[in-house]
Amino acid sequence: MAWLLVREDLVFRLRVLREMREKGVNPYPPTYRLTHTIPEIRRRNIPRVVDEGDISTAGRVMGIRRHGRALFIDLVDEAEKLQLYARVNELGEEGFRRVKRWINKGDFIGVKGPLFYTETGELTLLVKEYTILAKSLLEPPSQWYGLRDVEERYRRRYLDILMNKEVRQILLLRSRITSEIRRFLESRGFIEFETPILQPLYGGAAAKPFKTYINAINEEWFLRISDELYLKRLIIAGFNKVYEIGKDFRNEDIDATHNPELTMLEAYQAYADYNDMMELAESMITHVVERLLGGLKVKHGDVELDFTPPWKRIRLIDALGEYGGYDVEKMTDEDIVLALEKHNIPVKAPINRGLAIAELFEKVVGPQLQNPTLVLDYPRETTPLCKPHRDDDRLIERFELYIRGIEILNAYTELNDPILQHRFFMEEMERHRVDIELAHRYDGDFIEALMHGMPPTGGLGMGLDRLTMVITGQQSIKEVIFYPIQRRLHVGNPFNGIDLNSLLSRP
């Protein structure tokens, strides 16, 4: 029944299109000149007695109320509303008849006339002239209810944003977070570069890649899973502070904290280590939160997150003791296997002790870390790209930032020894020989670049989707991604069964 009503409305609007063209009116003109946008009008301190002459503005029609020989129209632009008053006195009989028939909810129109206040105090524009700027063929959803089905909201995101002010504000805040991060880094002397998205080898993270094929050179390439190795090449080239905000692609989970297409910040600084990266991460995120939210307390459901520095710092093995009751330094491999099994963590034989300890931490401890917490000194086996710990070669100088139980940021004292990097790459390939796609591939070109010398360097990678999710208090990463990946539905031809020629051609 609902679809029949939609089709009836579509047929009506197509007939209106024909009428407009028959009268010599273009329903899709190329431009329109405004003196003020609706947000500009709403921001002005307009006196109760308005005497400013005619103004021109434009927006989308989101409501029409008929009152005899007059209409009240809600015109919306950038989520701001202005009431219009259209009546026969100004438009004439024919002009008013066209407004009533030709203008429908969803249409974009331009209007010209003076502002005044109604008896109820509503700022209103008296329509003297109007222009239809884009004839909408489908009416937007109800202004009151919008799109309730979650999957439908994500799939038709343009309607979700149009009808839901909260969604609009979240996505605007996301853009401002990105802009503020750029300003912060550039104030510290970082330079943004663009590195290749298509790469002959993928590296910089442990993730399965998306594969593609370049016909011009007859080679299989990959969408990048990380920017790391190319940004490090820029450090080698002599740029001391580099960063990139861009898309990475990992052919893995789709859930509350994962999307195969993700936005990452990666930043690298010469003559720095992971201690410097801790200071950078803490300063950057507290700056962004305070600048955009006006304080360092963020409400997240029933939990209030406190971003006030200094943040808690704890070694990974100490966190397992404090939050999980596991003294892993005294535990045998068999003890660790039992702990993994207790928490339903798959056990791979033979056990890799370092990876097993990291998995136990991720499952048991990670979700408990609500306020920003820097977890330090991971087992060496967790990545081949990090420098061994200066005090304990079983560990590496790596930290991760957890907020609200979610890993937000990963950082290292970067490995710059080409011989050790070669050895770690080889170990990584051997360790993952059963599922080689999960291994950091051996990148001979990167090793050769390291052989030319890379200064001591600190680096970090941060998921902007997850950071935005935490700052805005959302439970799913999909709420902060403009177009999250969804299973595709076959829409087909929306004009199917409608004779466009008869509706749009002249009789």
pLDDT score of 316 more than 60: yes
For the stretch 80-122, pLDDT in tens is: 999 999 999 999 999 999 999 999 999 999 999 999 999 999 9
Task: State the pLDDT at residue 435.
Answer: 60
85 forms beta bridges with 72, 126
Q: Which two tokens stand for residue 233?
A: 């090449």
- Do 426 and 444 form a contact (C-beta atoms < 8 A)? no
The model's confidence at residue 1, banded by pLDDT at 50, 70 and 90, is: very low
Non-local (6+) Cβ contacts of 65 within 8 A are 71, 72, 73
The model's confidence at residue 190, banded by pLDDT at 50, 70 and 90, is: very high
Where does CATH 2.40.50.140 sit in the chain? 2-140
CATH number for the region 162-311+371-480 comes to 3.30.930.10
Taking residues 318-345, report their average pLDDT: 95
347 versus 290: the higher-pLDDT residue is: 290
Task: State the pLDDT at residue 289.
Answer: 97
Q: Is the pTM of this model over 0.85?
A: yes
For the stretch 6-40, pLDDT in tens is: 788 899 999 999 999 999 999 999 999 999 999 99
Where does CATH 3.30.930.10 sit in the chain? 162-311+371-480
| Alpha-carbon Rg for the chain in angstroms | 29
pLDDT score of 147 more than 80: no
Length of the chain: 507
Which of 279-283, 298-302, 493-497: highest mean pLDDT? 279-283
For the stretch 161-183, pLDDT in tens is: 998 899 999 999 999 999 999 99
CA angle 396, 401, 405 (to 5 degrees): 125
Q: What is the mean pLDDT of the chain?
A: 92
The model's confidence at residue 490, banded by pLDDT at 50, 70 and 90, is: confident
Pairing of strands 211-214, 261-270: unpaired
pLDDT score of 2 more than 80: no
The model's confidence at residue 349, banded by pLDDT at 50, 70 and 90, is: confident
The model's confidence at residue 489, banded by pLDDT at 50, 70 and 90, is: confident
Which residues in 435-455 are b (16+ Cβ under 10 Å) and which e?
Answer: eeeebbbbbeebeebbeeebe
The model's confidence at residue 51, banded by pLDDT at 50, 70 and 90, is: low
pLDDT score of 436 more than 70: no
Q: What is the distance between the alpha carbons of residues 383 and 408, in angstroms, rounded to a whole number?
A: 17
pLDDT score of 266 more than 80: yes
Q: What is the distance between the alpha carbons of residues 77 and 125, in angstroms, rounded to a whole number?
A: 14
CA angle 120, 126, 130 (to 5 degrees): 140
Dihedral of alpha carbons 104, 106, 107, 111, sign: positive
The model's confidence at residue 493, banded by pLDDT at 50, 70 and 90, is: confident
Task: State the pLDDT at residue 427.
Answer: 87
Task: State the pLDDT at residue 144.
Answer: 46
How far is CA 142 from each of CA 75, 145, 151, 167, rounded to the nearest angstrom?
A: 15, 5, 18, 16
Sheet holding 241-249, edge to edge: 191-192, 241-249, 261-270, 457-463, 406-413, 398-403, 373-376, 312-315
CATH 2.40.50.140 fits 2-140, yes or no: yes
Helix axes 444-451, 418-431, angle to 10 degrees: 160
Taking residues 398-425, report their average pLDDT: 96
